Amino acid sequence: MNKAYSRTRIVVMLGVILALIMADHLGSPTFAFNSGQGNVETALMQRDETACAPCGAPCPSTRD
Amino acid sequence: MTDSAVLQPDLQQPPWQVDRFIVSTALAGFALLGGLIWLETAPFMVVLFVVGTVLGMALYHGAFGFTAGWRNLVVKKRGAGMRAQLLLFAVSSLIMVPMLHSGQAGLVGAVAPVGTSLVVGSFLFGIGMQLGGGCGSGTLFTVGAGNIRMVVTLVFFIAGAVLGSIHLPWWLDQPGFDPVPLVNSFGVTGAILVQFIGLGLVAWWVNRIERKAHGSIERDELLWKSQGHGVLRTLVSGRWPFTWAILILAAGNALTLAIGGAPWSITFAFNVWGAKALEVVGVNMAQFEFWTWDYPAMALKDSVLTNIPSVMNFGLLLGAMLAAGLANRFNEASRNRPEGRQFLAAVVGGLLLGYGARLGFGCNIGALFSGIASASLHAWIWFACAFAGSLIGIRLRPWFRLPN
């Protein structure tokens, strides 16, 4: 059965996604912290327990 | 026979073929990204990455699509997919509501405000589901399985989500009120019972439609055994009976809550990815109120590898890719190239999905599945409004040359 995809395209696509993830990570506070830089604030457990929705939205009652 | 390996020739069954290239590529991606997450973040994030991968496999092998389940009920008057979803909600509710109220510190449910934003957002999301061809999880797992049209949907899903994040503060200022956890009114057992009654009523309505149209009910959602193949082969290459997918999805959401502190969600990651892309081209996202709120600001500032929805989404994509390779069906849906209007449907549907998900506080997973598993009133309103929107989307599909 002929494949409906190009192998090269798949590898390139995944490579691009990985490169984007790496580029984002290398510029992040977490990478800076892991590299031994002090004075950076990382957010490994990103949570705002006072938020009113999973996206971090505030409660309508707290809005002006 | 160069691309596929025959693993178990059988005179009774067609040979089991695996797409070795896709399977090995997915496994390589899994190892590479998993290793990176292990090195750079924390072990719990690796576990969530694995959970996301298993969920992706379950969604693909179980063909667990919310969108098609709703459409089958409306168009074909068949309710197995819908009943499978209701069963999933019931099982998750039974597991997760007591977990959330066990007194363990650090667990937060998927609760959200009830108001204009929720109603409008979920309604738009429902239209988008039918035009885009999937919900949040459906879009991701079909992209992972190589569906080209769904890649377009995902790109515009992300664009719509970012636009929604910019507008959400305005929508929140429209009439609405704070979250309503059912546990506050009924207690843990009462909330579960109230939800069971609600789910039972929906199931009764679904059964009534099916029985009226066909005279009987197909109980596909209750099948335990695979059709035609042995257990091992079905487990690896699909298609799973609904019950397997239900148990894995329910366990996956409960594990996500136990490990990550909050139930499974998908679409917030799309916001983060889109906002990061805009920042790369020079847009200052801090000028928009949404991105000054603590959680979005933290997620935008730090690595995507520290954002739980992003990490689980990466796992889900790779899990679906692996499952499609094991089933030898990668890119199967794109054999017939979509035409112009079908791509237009992906664009419009994607934008509606993204915008609607942000206003409606999530998708079928974050708002509906996790919302009901958290016994939050907003999930029920989301369900009703998204279903209403879906009815319109189904009517619009023929114009976009999408089969119903």
Asked if B111 and B272 touch (Cβ cutoff 8 Å), the reply is no
**In this structure, is residue B255 part of a structural domain?**
yes
Would B2 be classed as within a structural domain? no
* Stretch A5-24: mean pLDDT: 94
Q: Does B292 touch chain A (CB under 8 A)?
A: no
Q: What's the pLDDT at B12?
A: 56
Q: Is any Cβ of chain B less than 8 angstroms from the Cβ of A19?
A: no
Is 0.90 topped by the overall pTM?
A: yes
Domain that holds residue B353: 15-400
Query: Is residue B103 less than 8 Å (CB to CB) from chain A?
Result: no
- Say what the pLDDT of residue B64 is: 83
Q: Flag if B271 and A3 touch (Cβ within 8 Å).
A: no
Interface predicted TM-score (ipTM):
0.92
Residue B9 lies in a domain: no
| Interchain CB distance below 8 Å, B361 and A48 | no
Q: Is residue B189 part of a domain?
A: yes
Distance CA B24, CA B36 (A): 18
**What average pLDDT score do residues A40-57 get?**
80
Which A-chain residues 23-62 have CB contacts (< 8 A) with chain B? 24-25, 28-31, 34, 42-61
The total number of residues written for chain B in this structure: 404
**B21 contacts in A (CB within 8 Å)?**
7, 10
Does the distance separating the beta carbons of A54 and B362 come in below 8 Å?
yes
> In 10 A of CB B175, how many CB atoms?
9
CA dist A23 and B149 (Å) reads: 27
Query: Is A10–B304 a contact, with Cβ atoms under 8 angstroms apart?
Result: no
Residues sharing a CB contact under 8 Å with residue B200, sequence separation 6 or more, in sequence order: none
Average pLDDT of A37-41?
78
What stretches in chain B show pLDDT beneath 50?
1-11
* pLDDT for position B105: 86
- Alpha-carbon distance B271 to B294, whole Å? 14
- Asked if A54 and B262 come within 8 Å (Cβ–Cβ), the reply is yes
Answer whether residue B1 is part of any domain.
Answer: no
Q: How many domains does chain B have?
A: 1
